[in-house]
Amino acid sequence: MLQLKERFSFDGQSIAWGSMGAGDPIVLVHGFPWSAQAWRAIAPWLAKTHKVFYFDMLGTGLSEKGETQNVTESVQSNLLEALIGHWELKRPQVVGHDFGGLAALRCHFVNGIEYGKLHLVNAVAVLPSGSPFYAHVANYEPAFAGLPDYAHEALFCAYIQAAAHYPLREEAIRLYFEPWSGEVGKAAFYRQIAQADLGNIEEAQKLYGSTDFEVHISWGMRDTFIPSEQGRQVHELLNAKSFTPIDDASHMVHEDSPSALLGALLKSI
């Protein structure tokens, strides 16, 4: 497991983060409903040649959760900007998966932060986005937050398994579920879904174009959450330098094929 022993205060809220290695910086940005632990098989290898930073997004993992939190995509991209500033990084390479990809995209195209390179992995990036499940939670968030623990756990496990091509190991399921367990974690899980705002994707998408840094895209081709056609679209919109298909991997490439994902990253970093 990755160690997140450091804390950063973001708008008065505690953000858990960690780092390893030495060299030019790489920032790893996880998606939802994952945590920085999604990078546990990737970060140690990247850290052999680089200084690797990772963190839990606001309201996820070990970072602070609260009933009055704003955890929208715009806030998460502001958090990424704040962390890059706190770490005093100049043009770091950034790797973003899922909503972490959107945070990285917004941090550049909306917030104006420059990168050394940008690596996107099955990223939330373009419309259409979302699912009937997201819409249903948004309409009935209090009801979902009030689910009995066993029902919440069953729903969560079904949700993350749907993001994988192969059966998830019990160790991985426990690792991802633990931060969302209990009354605080359960409410935080549905809060993240209910606050998802398509306007934050639309705002960024209107600004997409060529960059003065390389963009590389890796995609689990069996993704049923975000189809590979959207990955190809992002490749064109950003004039990305590469698109690496990862066969026999779904949305959660980290679990389905970590070695293939690592290989794709090492090839372009």
* Distance (Å, whole) CA 6 – CA 18: 6
Q: What is the pLDDT of residues 50-74, one digit of tens each?
A: 999 999 999 999 999 999 999 999 9
Cis before 128 (ω within 30): yes
What type of residue sits at position 187?
Answer: A
Rounded to two decimals, what is the model's pTM? Answer: 0.97
Lowest-confidence region among 130-139, 157-166, 207-216: 130-139
Q: Please determine, for residue 135, whether its predicted confidence score (pLDDT) is greater than 90.
A: no
pLDDT of residue 94: 99
* Distance (Å, whole) CA 47 – CA 144: 39
In the predicted model, what is the mean pLDDT of residues 142-152?
Answer: 96
Contact 196, 213 (CB under 8 A): no
* Distance (Å, whole) CA 16 – CA 245: 32
Strand pairing partners for 27? 53, 94
pLDDT of residue 215: 99
Lowest-confidence region among 29-33, 94-98, 129-133: 129-133
Q: What is the pLDDT of residues 194-205, one digit of tens each?
A: 999 999 999 999
Give the domains, in start order, of the chain with CATH numbers.
6-129+197-268 (3.40.50.1820)
Chain length of the chain: 269
Q: Please determine, for residue 258, whether its predicted confidence score (pLDDT) is greater than 90.
A: yes
